Amino acid sequence: MQDILGKLSRSWVDKVGTEFEKPYMQQLEGFLAEEQAARKHILPPKALWFNALNSTSFEETKVVILGQDPYPTPGHAHGLCFSVQPEVSPLPKSLLNINKELLSDLGVDNQHTGYLQPWAEQGVLLLNAVLTVEAYKSNSHQNRGWEAFTDAIVQSVNDEKQHCVFILWGSYAQKKGRFIDRSKHLVLESAHPSPLSAYRGFFGSRPFSQTNAYLQSHGLSPINWQL
């Protein structure tokens, strides 16, 4: 893990670098080393474990979207929640629903792609609660320590920034974001975009237009959601 820490964005090292010295992170490092030694296929590739942080600096962060864990299908995950590599087709169903809501909300048609890197480069922190997964085994790296690390990331944004938008889709993300200070940030909660729940409050929630209206009301540039 230390080799990756050396490549982590300096802005995030300054905020959460001390987490790497804590026992839970050392235990996580041991678990991941054992998984690799057993030749298990871990996703995304190691160089992309911290892609969310390296794509969106602390200073640039103005929107946080919380996901759960990476896509378990090889070739899909690249370290940004809900995002897939440019060549992936067809898109995961949750991502298709995100694109449907964006089209309904702002008239933005992204149905041609699920590669959300341009959002990250505008200040949208696309953060999964768990940053790795074993191929074809969803949630296989839960409760190994990643959650404490990503909690520290969310806490630093909550504590040290003003007027950020936190987009929490589904009960898992809402529980993770329960401590966010709603007096200085906007928290948008709805059902998850999964086909199992999208019709129970995700469709029609208009998170993209609400995000931009809030940012502009506080003198911040809106997100160009078009990909």
How far from chain centre, in Å, is Cα 38?
28
Instruction: Report the C-alpha gap between 223 and 154 in whole angstroms.
Output: 20
Half-sphere exposure of 214 (CA within 13 A, CB side): 20
Query: pLDDT grade, residue 8 (50/70/90)?
Result: confident
Task: Give the mean pLDDT of 93-118.
Answer: 98
- Indicate if 14 belongs to the active site: no
For the entire predicted model, the pTM comes to 0.97
Tell me which of 69, 105, 159, 181 is the catalytic residue.
69
63 forms bridges with which residues in the sheet?
Answer: 124, 165
> Model confidence at 7, in pLDDT bands (50, 70, 90)?
confident
CB 71 within 8 A of CB 92: yes
Contact, 100 vs 114, CB < 8 A? no
pLDDT tens by residue, 24-58: 999 999 999 999 999 999 999 999 999 999 999 99
CA separation for the pair 166, 199 (Å, rounded): 21
Cα separation of the two ends of the chain: 32
Burial class (CB in 10 A: 0-12, 13-18, 19+), 52: buried
Of 83, 143, 90, the C-alpha closest to 112 is 90
